Structure 1
């Protein structure tokens, strides 16, 4: 197990290294010039060139990359060219919105996907099970922006229960208002991700129902439902853990769109704003932080899978 963990950790570090190169190179091919943005439209070419030199933008790309990696090794994600603020500090500040939003979305997805996925599989020959399956198919195909707009129309404009956009200025110092501001965005992501999870849980449960160990347990006197719950669902859980790793990444990506739609001051909205303003050091720090988070989630999922599933340990 230790050797497996070290191997996966090495792959994680390698993945971060490759991601850093791809992020750095891809941002340099984007059109636009941050020196032009800072200097303004009235600046002369000489002024822009002097500003580029002062910011270090005229240095060779390999030098800029080496400086960035050197900062990363010291725990510094960089400094914004436009505001001069620390990227790490601003990421932590914006994460106070994105992290709770992601946790709420994942919780909603789990509450929808797991129990209703099992019920849909157990009731596959009944109308309720078929209705759950059809509803999941429909919800999984709904664009996240359209779903968010519909929730706003119903619960904010129509019923007036929740705020349509924004986040309180006091932030989490006013927890009730902050929580209410995240309910609709979390529902938007959670319902769609939950529908996708429901479909997977239903498929995995149906596969487990047909396994020999479930039929054997039923032959020994257990009902089919009890045999599934006691013997089949633990094996379904192994597959669900793997899918959850992918869904967490999907939730992070969905947060970029949702924060724009609901004007939430989170990491996703900050990233879109910084890309538009060509603040390259800030963007590359943000992208690497998000990429690192997704890779760490995959690393944790792999370790959890190995710890829970004895067959993998026996094979090793």
Structure 2
């Protein structure tokens, strides 16, 4: 287990290094000049060049990258070129919206996908099972923006149960208002991601039902449901753990979009605004933090799967 963990840590570090190079290089080929944006339309060429020197944009790209990655290794993601505010501090502030949103969406997705996926598999030969399978395919195909707008029309505009947009100025000092503001966004992401996960749970459950040990248990007098619950669900659970990292990445991408729809002051909305403002240092810090989060989640999922699956331990 220790050897496997060390190998995964090395791969994680390599993935972060490659991601940092790609992020830095990609942002440097985008059109626009942050120095020109700061100077404005009335800025003279001399003023623009002075700003470029002040911001360090006139240095070789390799030097800029090494300075940036050196700061990252010490826990410093840099400071905004426009405001001078530390990127890490702003990420921590915006994460107070994005993280609860993602957790809520994940809980909703799991609460829908696990029981409904199992039921759809157990009733695959019945109309209810076919309806659940078809419904999951339809919901999974719905764009998250459209789903959010429909939920706003029904639950915010029509029924008035939740606010349509925004987040309370007091933040989590107003917990009731904060939870109400995140309810529809979390439900939007959770339902769409839950439909995708449900299809996988159904497939994993069907595969478990076809295993010899489940059929043997059924032949000894257990019903198909009892045999699955006693002997098949552990394998279904391991399969779900395997794709959990992908689902969390999907939830993160959904949060970036949904924060625009619901006007939430989270990381996604900040990232879109910073890209438009051409704030290179801030954007590259935000992208690296998000990429690192996804890679770490994948790393933890790999460790969990290795720990609970004896076949993985034997291969290691």
Band of TM-score, shorter chain: over 0.9
Residue matched to 1:233: 233
Residues 196-211 of structure 1 mapped to structure 2, 5 A cutoff? 196-211=196-211
Residue matched to 2:251: 251
Q: Following TM superposition, by how much is the alpha carbon of 1:311 offset from its aligned partner in structure 2, in angstroms?
A: 1.2
CA distance in 1, matches of 2:270, 2:196: 28
Residue matched to 2:136: 136
Residue matched to 2:56: 56
Residues 105-116 of structure 1 mapped to structure 2, 5 A cutoff? 105-116=105-116
Which runs of 5 or more residues in structure 1 are unaligned?
Answer: none
Q: Following TM superposition, by how much is the alpha carbon of 1:219 offset from its aligned partner in structure 2, in angstroms?
A: 1.3
Residue matched to 2:8: 8
Q: Following TM superposition, by how much is the alpha carbon of 1:195 offset from its aligned partner in structure 2, in angstroms?
A: 0.4
Partner deviation per Cα, 1:199-220 (whole Å, 9 max, x = no partner) = 1101111111111110011112
CA distance in 2, matches of 1:311, 1:65: 42
What TM-score do the two structures reach when normalised by structure 1? 0.99
Q: Following TM superposition, by how much is the alpha carbon of 1:315 offset from its aligned partner in structure 2, in angstroms?
A: 2.4
Partner deviation per Cα, 1:159-201 (whole Å, 9 max, x = no partner) = 1110000000000000000000000100110000000011110
What TM-score do the two structures reach when normalised by structure 2? 0.99
CA distance in 1, matches of 2:183, 2:91: 22
Partner deviation per Cα, 1:277-312 (whole Å, 9 max, x = no partner) = 000000000000000000000000000000000111
Partner deviation per Cα, 1:258-291 (whole Å, 9 max, x = no partner) = 0011010000000000000000000000000000
Residue matched to 1:150: 150
SS in 1 for 2:125: coil
Residues 22-37 of structure 1 mapped to structure 2, 5 A cutoff? 22-37=22-37
Q: Following TM superposition, by how much is the alpha carbon of 1:37 offset from its aligned partner in structure 2, in angstroms?
A: 0.9
Give me the CA root mean square deviation: 0.6
Which runs of 5 or more residues in structure 2 are unaligned?
Answer: none
CA distance in 2, matches of 1:157, 1:34: 40
Residue matched to 2:220: 220
Runs of 4+ aligned structure 1 residues displaced above 4 Å come to none
Tell me how many residue pairs correspond in the alignment: 316
Q: Are residues 1:176 and 2:167 paired? A: no
